[in-house]
């Protein structure tokens, strides 16, 4: 199992995209999410891309990935999505 954590150290909402599935998980300022996949750490399971729309975590395996908040609760696709997100 592999994990990577992402935290929002900005003053506004930030979108965490998980690809190749295109799921969106929105973080409030100060929040931290963990992306988990069944891939072994030696297989370089993640790539992280920071861009003007947020942060994208690419999962480099055929395994699915899940996103959890700091307390270990699932943060499913659309988690905390703002109503004005545009989709």
Residue spans of the domains in the chain: they are: 2-69
Q: Can you tell me the distance from the alpha carbon of 77 to that of 63, in angstroms, rounded to the nearest whole number?
A: 17
With 90 as the cut, is the pLDDT of residue 34 above it?
yes
Q: Is 39 a residue whose pLDDT tops 80?
A: no
Taking only the tens place, the pLDDT of each residue in 46-66 is 999 999 989 999 998 778 999
Is-above-0.75 flag for pTM? Answer: yes
Quote the DSSP letter at residue 24. Answer: E
Q: pLDDT averaged over the chain?
A: 91
**Alpha carbon of 17 to those of 42, 43, 60: distances in Å?**
23, 21, 14
Residue 77 or 62, more confident: 77
Average pLDDT over residues 11-15: 96
Measured distance CA(83)–CA(87) in Å, rounded: 8
């Amino acid at each position: 199992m592999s994990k990577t954590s992402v935290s929002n150290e900005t003053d506004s909402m930030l979108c965490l995209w998980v690809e190749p599935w295109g799921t969106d998980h929105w973080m409030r300022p100060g929040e931290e999410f963990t992306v988990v996949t069944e891939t072994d750490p030696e297989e370089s399971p993640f790539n992280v891309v920071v861009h003007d729309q947020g942060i994208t975590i690419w999962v480099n395996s055929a395994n699915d990935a899940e996103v959890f908040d700091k307390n270990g609760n699932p943060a499913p696709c659309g988690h905390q999505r703002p109503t004005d997100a545009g989709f």
